[in-house]
């Protein structure tokens, strides 16, 4: 029986490609090229499935050009590179990799927040430039993390992980805003208090963004929101680029309307707004919050699990649009889509 052809769109662990090759005819990308849309479309020709990352945009145009495509498996928890309504309308299963990166991302988010609060990047650059010649009582004085008010915008799995670190490890007071309030049992372990967005912005000493990106959350933090924050506050974004208006943030940092920021994600990444590169009071990292070997391996394996299950009659473990499944399984392929 002919094996289903699949595309692995970016370089991943060789053993994961080898595992997929036990089930499918795999076209891989060991050179790790970023495919533009025409190249991606050419590589998807005839493919039943695709192992993707956030780099590959799967939209209605791509789907209509490839009616044989049945599943797209993202090696990421976020999936704003997928047009989910278009996938669902065409019976294409989309999957992601939640849970396996929660604790690692929470670690990194908390580390970034601390780096911003204690001016670590700013002081390291000072040292590397050879400008450290003496001690001074006010040299790179930042703000305390212990006992401060931790504000979390987006209280999902990662947000709750950051809340635990702050409350249980550093005695922080936790306030949060979310689309829906947590249950009392979820709030109680960290003493989290639900507040409206304006209160969150006004009371937080350290604000961490962990909400998913969508058209509705675009520029959730812009000039008006930054104006509500304390001049001593820090802002950390480990969510998605586009949630923060990076241009407005650069102005607020330069004018010291907030004390500092720490960013792992950016609008239009890997491009970074040039003004963010010129302000000293910001910590910048290249979208690496989940970047430990163990976690990235788990993400790759879960994406492979989804792809294998979907195309071999099994139940994919983490579907985004499970409504395309029948009894937990992908139905037989159709010959065309309207």
Catalytic one among 118, 240, 273, 296?
Answer: 240
Q: Which two tokens stand for residue 103?
A: 């604790």
Can you tell me whether residue 120 is helix, strand or coil?
helix
Residues ≥6 apart with Cβ < 8 Å to 323: 88
Q: Residue 7: which H helix or E strand, with range?
A: strand 5-8
Catalytic residue among 193, 287, 329, 337: 287
- In the chain, how many H helices and how many E strands? 13, 12
Complete edge-to-edge strand list for the sheet that includes strand 25-27 = 25-27, 5-8, 49-52, 71-74, 93-95
User: Residue 334 corresponds to which tokens in the numbers above?
Assistant: 């159709």
List the structure tokens of 224.
């008006």
**Does the annotation count 269 as an active-site position?**
yes
Is 337 noted as a catalytic residue in this protein? no
Q: Cα(9)–Cα(43) distance, rounded to whole angstroms?
A: 8
Pairing type for strands 260-263 and 234-237 reads parallel
Q: Where are the beta strands (DSSP E) in 135-238?
A: 149-153, 173-177, 193-194, 206-209, 234-237
Please say if 240 is a catalytic residue.
yes
Residue of 269, 297, 329, 337 marked active site: 269
> What whole-number distance in Å separates Cα of residue 120 and Cα of residue 129?
14
Half-sphere exposure of 118 (CA within 13 A, CB side): 11
The encoded tokens of residue 54 equal 């956030």
* Catalytic residue set: 240, 269, 287
């Amino acid at each position: 029986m002919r094996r289903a052809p699949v595309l692995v769109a970016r370089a991943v662990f060789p053993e994961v490609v080898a595992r997929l090759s036990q089930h499918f005819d795999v076209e891989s990308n060991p050179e790790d090229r970023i495919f533009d849309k025409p190249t991606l479309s050419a590589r998807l020709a005839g493919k039943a499935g695709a192992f993707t990352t956030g780099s590959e945009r799967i939209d209605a145009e791509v789907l209509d050009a490839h009616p044989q495509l049945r599943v797209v498996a993202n090696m990421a928890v976020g999936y704003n590179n997928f047009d989910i309504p278009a996938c669902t309308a065409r019976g294409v299963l989309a999957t992601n990799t939640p849970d396996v990166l929660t604790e690692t991302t929470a670690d990194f988010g908390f580390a970034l927040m601390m780096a911003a609060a204690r001016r670590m990047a700013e002081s390291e650059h000072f040292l590397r430039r050879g400008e450290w010649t003496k001690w001074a009582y006010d040299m790179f004085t930042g703000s305390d993390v212990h006992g401060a008010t931790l504000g979390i915008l987006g209280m999902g799995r990662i947000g709750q992980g950051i809340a635990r670190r702050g409350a249980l490890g550093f005695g922080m007071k936790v306030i949060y805003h979310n689309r829906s309030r947590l249950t009392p049992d979820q709030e109680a372990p960290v003493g989290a208090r639900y507040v409206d967005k304006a209160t969150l912005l006004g009371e937080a000493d350290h604000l961490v963004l962990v909400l998913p990106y969508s058209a509705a959350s675009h520029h959730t933090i812009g000039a008006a929101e930054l104006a509500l924050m304390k001049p001593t506050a820090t802002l950390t974004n480990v969510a998605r680029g586009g949630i923060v208006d990076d241009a407005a943030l650069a102005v607020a940092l330069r004018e010291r309307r907030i004390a500092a920021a720490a960013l792992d994600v950016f609008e239009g990444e890997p491009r970074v707004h040039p003004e963010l590169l010129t302000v000293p009071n910001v910590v910048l990292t290249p979208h690496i919050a989940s970047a430990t070997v163990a976690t990235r391996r788990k993400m790759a394996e879960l994406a492979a699990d989804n792809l294998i299950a979907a195309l071999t009659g099994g139940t994919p473990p983490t579907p985004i649009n499970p409504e395309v499944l029948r009894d937990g399984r992908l139905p037989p392929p159709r010959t065309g889509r309207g």
